[in-house]
Amino acid sequence: MTTLRPNFWQFALNKLTNDEWEALCDGCGVCCLIKYLDDDDVALTEYTDVACQLLDCTTGHCSNYQHRKRHVPDCIRLTPEMVPDMMWLPRHCAYKRLHLGQGLPSWHYLVAGQARHDKAMDKVGVRGRCVSEKGLSDDVIEERIVTWVKI
Ligand code: SF4
Ligand code: SF4
C-alpha cells in the first residue's frame, strides 16, 4: 500500500520514503529523451525528440518500468545523491526543483490534485511529440534537436 505524508515534498529529498520519492515524478518522460550533454556547461545540453526504445510515445509512459533495467541497462535510477549532478533535467522536474529549493510547480499533480498525465503534461511532457529511437541512425537522431525542453 502506498502511503504518502501530507505535503511530503516539503521535506528534504533524502528524508522521503521510497513511495514519496517515486510520487514526485510527474511522468513527463523528458529524461527518457536522447540528449547531448556538455561537460562544461549544463545550459548547453541539447535535447532531441527521440525517445528511449522502451518509451511509449503515445502515452509518454515507460512501457516496462518495473523491468526496464533488463532491457535498458543504462536507464538512470535517480537517487537524492545523484540529483545535484543532474541539472540537465528539465526545469519543471520535481527532483531538480526541490533540490534547488524552488518547490513544486503549481500545476504539479500533487499540488493541483489532478491525476498524473493530466493536461499540464501537454505543455511539458513528451506524450505525442516524440519518436522512438528504434531503427534511427545516430545521424538521424543528431538532426532532431528540439527547443521545447527547457533546462
Ligand atoms: S524529467 Fe523528472 S519529472 Fe520528468 S519523468 Fe524524468 S524524473 Fe520524472
Ligand atoms: S527504460 Fe523506461 S524509464 Fe528508462 S529511459 Fe527508457 S523509457 Fe525512460
* 75 band by pLDDT with thresholds 50, 70 and 90: very high
52 lines ligand 2 (CB under 6 A): yes
Q: How far is CA 17 from CA 53, 85, 92, 118, 130, in A?
A: 29, 21, 22, 25, 32
How far apart (Å, rounded) are the C-alpha atoms in residues 62 and 87? 22
pTM of the model as a whole: 0.94
Which residues neighbour 18 within 8 Å (Cβ) at sequence distance 6 or greater?
Answer: none
90 lines ligand 1 (CB under 6 A): yes
Q: Report which of 26, 31, 13 is spatially closest to residue 107, judged by C-alpha positions.
A: 26
* pLDDT tens string 14-57: 999 999 999 999 999 999 999 999 999 999 999 999 999 999 99
How far apart (Å, rounded) are the C-alpha atoms in residues 67 and 49? 24
55 lines ligand 2 (CB under 6 A): yes
